[in-house]
Structure 1
Amino acid sequence: MAGYIGDTKYTGPERIVVAMDVGTTMTAVTFSYLYPDDYARVRMVNNWPGQLESGASSKIPSIVAYRQGKYKTCGLEALEYVEDDQYQIAKWFKLHLHPSSMKIPDVPPAYESDNDASSFEILPLPQGVPITQVYSDLFQYLMENIQKSFEQSIPNGPAVWSRLRDRLTVVLTTPNGWDFSQQSLLRKAAIGAGLVTEENSYELLDFITEGEASVHYALAYSQGKTWLDVNTIFAVVDAGGSTVDSTLYKCISTSPTLALEEVCPSECIQAGGIFVDRTAENMFKQKLSGSKWTEDECITEILQAFESRTKRIFNGSLGSYVVDFGSTRDNDRARGIIKGKLSVSALEVETTFEDVVQRTIASCLRLLGNYGVKYLLLVGGFGESQYLQKMLREQFESHKISIVTTEEPSEGAMIWYIKQSVMARIARTYIGVKVTTRYNPGDPEHVRRQQLTRKDLDGTLSLSGKFTTFVSKGTRLQGDFTHVEGFSRFYRPVQDRLGSYSCNLAIWEGEGNPSWVIDLKGEELPQLRRLCILKADLSGLKNSLKFEIGPKGEYYRVNFRVAIRFGGTQLQARLQWDEQGVLQEGPISIIPNAII
């Protein structure tokens, strides 16, 4: 159960921290009891319900069982209900959260077609069960088992848990490509599961990308001190069940604190182990067509055997491989089945990997560029594939890039929390707000939009749809980064309208830094996407504002600011304003690491 042990003594307050890594196919969790003036220890939960004592594992299947919309169980115990028609199984539900920028066509191609073998349909959720509820049920199940493991492994565990539970910190891992909308859903699910409360969720719930968690695990367990020097540039490729996240880092310092910075925006593609499985399913159905072996139950057993062993040991060095799925009574020599073992050629197995491997290599090539990368750290469940490791070595070792293999994002997330290494990030997109600007008849772009002008309360002509950029794509973000931008808003009359105010912080997903985010018809461009809402309670200004007179009568001008800063490991945004000379601030909104 014991894992990483900190190299320096913990100096913070006594607390419990748990980390949850919910993958597409497998889930793992860790916890740590942090005590002042003691070395932090990370512990894996590896005693799960339904698990044989001789087969203890830190991972359980990411599946949740329901009956008539009511939660039944999770993980290994849920496997018992997969073939039961009375139960519905939530499986591969993580795919429902992938943003459109990561998704690919939903219709799987024919086996060995020239089309994209990674194309994939997303399995439906159990009827009447929203994705938030699936995550909430799984989170609650994980926390119950964390508590059991904690109380059994920590001296006086039940009393310690009871004393510290209300201040327990939760760290969740997410793919690089997820952003605010996915984090908001997971936050809601965590609140619903009782992990945190709505009031303390921003304080006690942290998110870390799977790629960043993996780099901390890799550096802790791959003898990083033997190869990681100042100015070393290395890549971390996290190949999981449904995504491959790739990030490029440069080592800024190794002592007294490890300091890393992202070299360029990270990559996140939809690829991984489940796409190999689905292509294999198509292959088996064609290979065994016209026989009893294509019945759903048989195909399921063959796939399970393929995934659990054949896929993992395949490296292309043998001429053929076996899928050990049945009993000695299962024989069909014409189709290569002898005593429950299906023989498949190396070429057939290789074809199931082909598209995912090509996608992964292409993503790595886009990321590595000409940065002089020395090491590629391959992590994640699919990163254990011997064939993927072999193909990456063939591709990159000729360029003097060494492949380092290791895994475990759950433990990496915990190591990240304990060490809190300095990480400078590179913004992956443009962050800003859509604003109204004063009409300029000397600007051709303004003239083109003249039909969209309107007269403000102060009498000036204005145009909406201008984009003010706070953070540009490629900006290097670290602890000293701040940006404050001032704006004004007109009100009339103040008694009726001045109170709660909000504005939308947005990201631009198109090419280049935009000047305008609406077209000539006034329609918002599809490349603009709302990131979060910044809020302010301006009611305290009611008695201090002085009215002004415009062509339309009395109005009030309210000045406020949008403040962006990089705090710790996260980019934060909030509204600021002054009340009688005193600075006031609205609640903080956390901008997800996927954006930066």
Structure 2
Amino acid sequence: MSFDQWKKGRAGRYDDDSDSDDERGARGFARSPYQRSNEYDCYGREIDSERLSYDRRYADSREARGARQDGYQYKPAEHRIGSAMSVKKIPLPGLNAGLGNLAINDDTPLSRREMKNGKPKARPSAKQMESKLVAFPAKSAKQRMSSAQRVPAGSSNNRLLVAAIDFGTTYSGYAFSFRHEYDTNPSKMHANEWRNVAQGNMNAKTPTCLLLQPDMKLHSFGNEAKTKYASLCEENAHRTWFFFWEFKMTLHHEKEITQNYQLKDINGKLLDALTVFSLSIRALKDHLMTVLQNGYAGVRTNDVTWVITVPAIWNDSAKKFMRLAAEKAGLDKNNIEIALEPEAASIFCKLLPITRDPETETGMTIFPPGARYMILDCGGGTVDITVHEVLEDNTLKELHKATGGNWGGTVVNKSFLNFISNLVGPGVFNDFSKTHKSGYLELLEEFENKKRMTAADSTERVTIRIPIGLQEMLQNEKVKQKLQQGKYANKVDIYGDKLRMDAALFREFFQQAVDDIIKHTHDLMESLPRPVKAILMVGGFSESPVLQKAVKEAFGHMVKVIVPIEASLCVMKGAVLYGHRPSSISARKSRYTYGVAMTVPYIKGTHPSNRKYEDDGKKWCDGAFDKHVEIGQTVTPGEVQATRTYYPMSTSDKFLPVILYRSSAANPMFVDERSCDFVGFYFVKRQPGVGETTKQDAVRVRLVFGNSDIRVEAIKSDGIVHTADFRIE
């Protein structure tokens, strides 16, 4: 059985126990819960083979198979395994044997307490607790959580300097500033100027391109990588090398990202994504350290707070993946901050004198307290939109959860490539992109320049230089016939190595991306209870005159539309400011509803019958979503959200698991609904005992939303706080 087939078992279609050990995965958590005799759980404890055999026989019985229906989980009646721990066994990939059960105490809402005759009973004592938080299987079997103490949200940075790595889809770069510079002039920052040998100019960013040698060692990053790879292509020596470009968006498209997730290079060769991202970050880090050590003697990597930018609309898994890549790149995990791109841009724009004020000395002023504005961060891959208000203490409050989509500049690039493909034929263009790699990259770079430079209201034809390999294909008689008689007649001409097209046709390449951005922005503005005063356009794609005109025409009559100078650098510079003062964002809106999986008393007519199981003569319904934070709820970084107190179901349990889920719905009922996704889990280690549970066995669990991470805190009865971030290992 393949892993994909196995995952379908989550919907109650688990078929057999025929998987090999390799198919089950390397980690114990990825194994089938019906394991063979003399196997061990993830902690090395031997599994009770007699009990295991009983469970397998029951699971394979006709009665059990008949109970498996789409949409619900099936569980054997016997849910304990071995003598070491009480285990909830469910035939799905995810958490394996070795998880204990927890009970929730009387500070849970009444709707989740034990019900009798449809009414809540009197609050039970600790020994009579009837509601339980169970080890319900996670949707992602390969995500785990490790202990890591973070710098408290809102604390000032006391390291020597802050460096921000703006890791973009099409372009990347870095900027930095020293602590003493920030204290005297926060806007004073240093950004590297990258040399583009091919074009003979300097830019503040370099292409996001990574070149690895055949032995997978780093050769170069950015312009140097692009130039070297083009040279290898001309010599036909490129096939054994690894060249990656525009690979960042793969994290946005993946729902669940694991360490063994792989990327394809431009020639289709596979390499694990963690290596690709970590080597890219390492290249930028090493370049910066060289610059620092040349100008400032004695500066070390640990003297720097490293800020990595990520889109706000990325899921938790992608954000954690970037942190892990940064650690693998050689950055100390305690020196890493993750900054959300629109937030970073907003922090920077808040310092800019972009509002006219005749009463000031310069005639311009920054946004005053109470000002509300929208950040429209249009990058190469994604578009992030958020709404902020400036508070009296000069911090920012998020008024609407970050939204957006993959409507960035690469969508325009794809439209242009489709045009060329239709012109010469898909097969011919596919052959060109594979056999003329350097020419293909050259064509994209040429179009990228035109995309940023061509005026929105220009009537002049747009001229694009054609690579040599494509010139021959465009001289085909069929192509000439299309240009003379087809829909491109009198709109497209070819003169030597130049392709000239009408400005209106050129603007059509932007249509899909522009329409999506305008529609989403309009819907967002309509949903706001109070209007904003301005829209700030930042990001590389925001420098496109075509996009700027579209946004101004759509919203200019309602609000001010402002495009800061060097809009493409706002995120990078704002990330530096964020590193100096993470507390600049004082309140956020939760993008999801967060909660834990728990078991509640079964109520006939309310709970699905397939979720019912009996334990010690009592009927239970498992997999209930116990909400801690609701989507759209305002959360303050560093502040504790809802707190729940849990008790072990058995005093013999060695671990208390906290299984965290998220949902795009406000009030999910069960953790395996379509709107729900697994986030992570955490084991609270405890000393097993005997007898019934008491208040001494209580564990309080609370969620803390950090600057960009979710932290879980478990507090035992002795007051000891166990802290961990949900992370990928």
For Structure 1 versus Structure 2, the TM-score category normalised by the shorter chain is 0.7 to 0.9
Which residue identity does 1:194 align to in structure 2?
Answer: G
Whether 1:142 aligns to 2:284 is yes
Higher relative contact order (CA 8 A, sep 6+): 2
Cα distance in 2 for partners of 1:51, 1:186 equals 30
Whether 1:465 aligns to 2:620 is no
Would you say the 8 A contact 1:69–1:127 is kept in 2?
no
- Residues 268 and 251 of structure 1: CA distance in aligned 2, closer, same or farther (over 3 Å): same
Q: Which residue of 1 aligns with 2:347?
A: 216
How far is 1:318 from its partner? 1.4
Task: Select the residue among 590, 594, 599 that pairs with 1:431.
Answer: 594
Task: Select the residue among 453, 466, 469 that pairs with 2:613.
Answer: 453
List alignment gaps of at least 5 residues for structure 1. 1-9, 103-120, 518-523, 550-554
Whichever structure has more strand as a proportion of its residues is 1
How far is 1:191 from its partner? 2.0
How far is 1:286 from its partner? 2.8
How far is 1:29 from its partner? 0.9
SS at match of 2:331: coil
Task: Select the residue among 632, 638, 652 that pairs with 1:474.
Answer: 632
Cα distance in 1 for partners of 2:611, 2:656 equals 28
List alignment gaps of at least 5 residues for structure 2. 1-154, 257-262, 356-363, 484-491
Task: Select the residue among 62, 65, 68 that pairs with 2:214.
Answer: 68
Cα distance in 1 for partners of 2:546, 2:595 equals 43
Cα distance in 1 for partners of 2:535, 2:573 equals 20
- Residues 576 and 324 of structure 1: CA distance in aligned 2, closer, same or farther (over 3 Å): same
Would you say the 8 A contact 1:252–1:260 is kept in 2?
yes
- Residues 192 and 248 of structure 1: CA distance in aligned 2, closer, same or farther (over 3 Å): same
Q: Which residue of 1 aligns with 2:656?
A: 501
Cα deviation 1:35-90 (Å, max 9, x = unaligned): 49765642212256x75896232211111113435133211121121433342311
Would you say the 8 A contact 2:714–2:721 is kept in 1?
yes
Cα distance in 1 for partners of 2:194, 2:503 equals 36
Matched ranges for 1:170-249 at <5 A: 170-196=306-332, 201=333, 203-223=334-354, 226=365, 228-249=367-388
Q: Which residue of 2 aligns with 1:116?
A: none
Task: Select the residue among 493, 498, 514 that pairs with 1:341.
Answer: 498
**Worse overlay, 60-69 or 37-46:** 37-46
Cα distance in 1 for partners of 2:411, 2:394 equals 36
- Residues 512 and 47 of structure 1: CA distance in aligned 2, closer, same or farther (over 3 Å): closer
Q: Which residue of 2 aligns with 1:538?
A: 686
Task: Select the residue among 46, 59, 63 that pairs with 2:193.
Answer: 46
Matched ranges for 1:179-328 at <5 A: 179-196=315-332, 201=333, 203-223=334-354, 226=365, 228-253=367-392, 257-288=393-424, 295-296=432-433, 297=436, 300-325=441-466
- Residues 167 and 227 of structure 1: CA distance in aligned 2, closer, same or farther (over 3 Å): closer
Cα deviation 1:104-146 (Å, max 9, x = unaligned): xxxxxxxxxxxxxxxxx99778624111100111111111101
Q: TM-score, normalised by structure 2?
A: 0.65
Cα distance in 1 for partners of 2:603, 2:467 equals 77
Would you say the 8 A contact 2:172–2:205 is kept in 1?
yes
Q: Which residue of 2 aligns with 1:81?
A: 229
- Residues 68 and 24 of structure 1: CA distance in aligned 2, closer, same or farther (over 3 Å): same
SS at match of 2:668: coil
Task: Select the residue among 627, 641, 644 that pairs with 1:485.
Answer: 644
Q: Which residue of 2 aligns with 1:403?
A: 562
- Residues 85 and 548 of structure 1: CA distance in aligned 2, closer, same or farther (over 3 Å): closer
- Residues 351 and 468 of structure 1: CA distance in aligned 2, closer, same or farther (over 3 Å): same
Whether 1:382 aligns to 2:541 is yes
Cα distance in 1 for partners of 2:633, 2:421 equals 49
How far is 1:567 from its partner? 5.0
- Residues 76 and 572 of structure 1: CA distance in aligned 2, closer, same or farther (over 3 Å): same
Q: Which residue of 2 aligns with 1:5?
A: none
SS at match of 2:158: coil
Q: What CA RMSD, in Å, does the superposition of the two structures yield over aligned residues?
A: 3.4
Whether 1:23 aligns to 2:164 is no
Q: Which has the higher Rg, Structure 1 or Structure 2?
A: 2
Whether 1:94 aligns to 2:94 is no
- Residues 568 and 39 of structure 1: CA distance in aligned 2, closer, same or farther (over 3 Å): same
Matched ranges for 1:103-114 at <5 A: none
Aligned length: 522
Whether 1:359 aligns to 2:500 is no
Q: TM-score, normalised by structure 1?
A: 0.79
Whether 1:585 aligns to 2:721 is yes
Would you say the 8 A contact 1:249–1:260 is kept in 2?
yes
Cα distance in 1 for partners of 2:467, 2:661 equals 54
Cα distance in 2 for partners of 1:52, 1:90 equals 19
- Residues 452 and 148 of structure 1: CA distance in aligned 2, closer, same or farther (over 3 Å): same
Which residue identity does 2:192 align to in structure 1?
Answer: V
Which residue identity does 2:656 align to in structure 1?
Answer: Y
Percent identity, aligned pairs only, is 20
Whether 1:34 aligns to 2:170 is no
Would you say the 8 A contact 2:242–2:265 is kept in 1?
no
Cα distance in 2 for partners of 1:139, 1:412 equals 19
Q: Which residue of 1 aligns with 2:579?
A: 417
Cα distance in 2 for partners of 1:35, 1:591 equals 33
Which residue identity does 1:13 align to in structure 2?
Answer: N
Cα deviation 1:218-238 (Å, max 9, x = unaligned): 223353673623332211011
- Residues 97 and 451 of structure 1: CA distance in aligned 2, closer, same or farther (over 3 Å): closer
Which residue identity does 1:318 align to in structure 2?
Answer: T
Would you say the 8 A contact 2:165–2:309 is kept in 1?
yes
How far is 1:349 from its partner? 0.7
How far is 1:176 from its partner? 1.2
Cα distance in 2 for partners of 1:304, 1:52 equals 11
Q: Which residue of 1 aligns with 2:52?
A: none
- Residues 134 and 283 of structure 1: CA distance in aligned 2, closer, same or farther (over 3 Å): same
How far is 1:394 from its partner? 0.5
- Residues 230 and 290 of structure 1: CA distance in aligned 2, closer, same or farther (over 3 Å): closer
Would you say the 8 A contact 1:64–1:138 is kept in 2?
yes
